[in-house]
Amino acid sequence: MAVNSPAGARAAQPHGAASLAVEDLVAGYGDVLALDRVTISATAAGITAVLGANGAGKTTLLRAISGMVRPRRGRILLNGANQAGRSPEDMARAGITHVPEGHGVIAELTVEENLRLGMMSWPGMTSRRADRAAALAEAYERFRVLADRRRKLAASLSGGERQMLVIARALVARPRVLLLDEPSLGLAPRVMTQVMDMVMRLSKESGITTVLVEQNARAALAIADHGVVLNVGRVVAAADARTLAADVALRHHYLGF
Ligand SMILES: Nc1ncnc2c1ncn2[C@@H]1O[C@H](COP(=O)(O)OP(=O)(O)O)[C@@H](O)[C@H]1O
Ligand SMILES: [Mg+2]
């Protein structure tokens, strides 16, 4: 599952690396308080891992950042400007692309049709054909396996290839901030490692600010710059990835490795 690095491609994002921070965020569902005054700062142009057990609030955090869950309190700062309370469409236009948990490809569409869906958040219908073609060419250059299968139905792809298509589709949206919810879920260990490697390379080469939610803390910390650990809606630790991975007590209590 080779991932290629087109020379210079995406090296410079149109707006530069985005800074993302969440301050004092409170969010939930009815009586369930899923996030209780959560503050995190994502590494600009790097990977921030969000870790914690099932039910910790990781998915809700990503939903709040992408506008799918409306925060009850707190700020979501994109390059210093508060975005809390904006709609998912507005968040997408601001450059936040969310790949939800268990998000699949559309099996009945071809690889290329799936990729084209990623362009739907481009502003207006004014984008030129040439821009669309360039975005596809870039995706195919980076993901050769998708280029070879562009006319095939997504149903014919393996689990790892599908996950690659999901991430390629997110990149076609040209995000400034990429939110990935458990991209390794359900993948065989070897394929999981390949997907993690791909996420790391994309981050290094594209300057996208990536927030990576994972239950597989060991794998996520291996590629992240920074990590945040949630427990029942609260931040219990935040530090550089190496420090978290070396903390035996933290690993034992919250990270499961
Ligand atoms: N749609 C929902 N309705 C009600 N409660 C929810 C919903 N989604 C999540 N929750 C609850 O919110 C809390 C945080 O869940 P979630 O953000 O999905 O955690 P994680 O992604 O870390 O597993 C849990 O207590 C969960 O049961
Ligand atoms: Mg989740």
In this structure, are residues 202 and 208 in contact, taking their beta carbons and an 8 Å threshold?
A: yes
Position 139 in a domain: yes
Position 28 in a domain: yes
Mean pLDDT of 86-114: 93
* Residue 8 confidence class, pLDDT cut points 50, 70, 90: very low
In this structure, are residues 211 and 42 in contact, taking their beta carbons and an 8 Å threshold?
A: yes
CA gap 218, 240 in Å, rounded = 14
Position 11 in a domain: no
Residue 125 has pLDDT above 70, yes or no: no
**Number of other residues whose CB lies within 10 A of the CB of residue 217:** 24
Residue 11 has pLDDT above 90, yes or no: no
More confident residue, 230 or 12: 230
Quote the number of domains for the chain: 1
Share of the chain above pLDDT 70, in %: 92
Q: Whose Cα sits closest to atom 2 in ligand 1? A: 29
Q: Where are the alpha helices (DSSP H) in the chain?
A: 58-65, 88-93, 111-117, 129-142, 144-148, 159-172, 189-206, 217-223, 241-245, 248-250
More confident residue, 5 or 178: 178
Residue 243 has pLDDT above 90, yes or no: yes
Position 14 in a domain: no
More confident residue, 141 or 128: 141
Kind and range of the H or E element at 99? strand 96-99
Position 6 in a domain: no
- Of 202, 215, 163, 251, the closest CA to residue 50 belongs to 215
Position 68 in a domain: yes
At residue 233, the pLDDT reads 98
More confident residue, 148 or 9: 148
CB contact burial 38-49 (16+ within 10 A = b; e otherwise): bebebbbbbbbb
At residue 103, the pLDDT reads 77
Q: Can you give the residue range of the structural domain that contains 221?
A: 20-255
Position 53 in a domain: yes
Mutation probe of ligand 1 site: the residue of 59, 66, 103, 214 with most atoms within 8 A of C-beta = 59
Position 7 in a domain: no
Residue 184, CB half-sphere, CA atoms under 13 Å: how many?
22
Q: What is the CATH number of the domain that holds 218?
A: 3.40.50.300
Give the lowest-confidence range in 2-11, 136-145, 247-256: 2-11
- Looking at residue 132, its amino acid is R
Ligand 2 being an ion, which residues bring their Cβ within 5 A of it? 58-59
Ligand 2 centroid distance, CA of 165 (Å) = 21
Mean pLDDT over each residue of the chain, to the nearest integer: 91
